[in-house]
Amino acid sequence: MTATPQQLADVLRPVKHVLLDFDGPVCSVFAGFPAPEVARRLREGLLATGEQAPAGVEEENDPLALLRLVADARPDLTASTDIALAMLETEAVRVARPTPGGESVLHAAALSGRLVSVVSNNAGAAIEAYLAAHGLSHYVASVFGRAPGDPSSMKPNPRLLLEAMEAAGAGPEHCIFIGDAARDVEAGEAAGIPTIGYANKSGKGIKLAAAGAVVIVDSMQLIADALV
Ligand SMILES: [Mg+2]
């Protein structure tokens, strides 16, 4: 199922602007500070303010899903929950695990004269902290994290991709998005941008292909090799 170098080269040939998801393609955000632990801390913060946890919050182990849940049930708590999550994500990226080949994609994009934007449901501040800590800031033109206090901005909403495209001034025919979730592919489709599916776990490739990814890779290095 993994794309051949030729298929990748064909997909990447017209590309001037690489839009890159963060958690997955660049690093594993919650590798050192596990997502269920982050979710637990987020819940504790909510309860510490004397608030009653909305229904379903106790069982949710995905911090970003938890933010959505809070936003749906208690819009008044969205802003403060988002700020608390952004702080926890910033803590998490200090011990995140870099994705093999992720850095190479940034280098290769720069070497080949392409612009890179990071487009992610994670907090922009956390992404910028990671890039700075790893000496990668100058490879990235702009970071588009979820709109603070507005989790509806998160993919599969194409909003962040459209903002990134607008900022770069390249039309969708000159863009590629690289993501590791079906919602990335859906967001790409809604924005009119083809998406390369990064299948970093077995079984993911099928989901990404079903969602409409133009090609599937199981290694970021393959994309880096095809960019140069
Ligand atoms: Mg991801």
Task: Give the amino acid at 55.
Answer: A
Q: What is the DSSP string of 48-109?
A: HTTPPPPTTGGG---HHHHHHHHHHH-GGGHHHHHHHHHHHHHHHHHTPEEPTTHHHHHHHH
Contact 175, 141 (CB under 8 A): no
DSSP secondary structure letter of residue 2 = B
Phi, psi angles (nearest 5°) of residue 18: -100, 120
Instruction: Tell me how far apart the terminal alpha carbons of the chain are, to the nearest angstrom.
Output: 22
Give residue limits of the domains in the chain: 5-28+97-227, 35-94
Residues whose beta carbons lie less than 5 angstroms from ion ligand 1 = 21, 23-24, 180
The per-residue pLDDT for range 147-177, each reduced to its tens digit, is: 999 999 999 999 999 999 999 999 999 999 9
The per-residue pLDDT for range 11-32, each reduced to its tens digit, is: 999 999 999 999 999 999 999 9
CATH 3.30.428.10 describes domain 5-28+97-227: no
The per-residue pLDDT for range 168-211, each reduced to its tens digit, is: 999 999 999 999 999 999 999 999 999 999 999 999 999 999 99
pTM of the predicted protein model: 0.96
pLDDT band for position 53 (cuts 50, 70, 90): confident
Phi, psi angles (nearest 5°) of residue 131: -60, -40
Burial class (CB in 10 A: 0-12, 13-18, 19+), 33: middle
* Distance from the alpha carbon of residue 50 to the mean position of ligand 1, in angstroms: 33
The per-residue pLDDT for range 80-113, each reduced to its tens digit, is: 999 999 999 999 999 999 999 999 999 999 999 9
* Distance from the alpha carbon of residue 158 to the mean position of ligand 1, in angstroms: 14
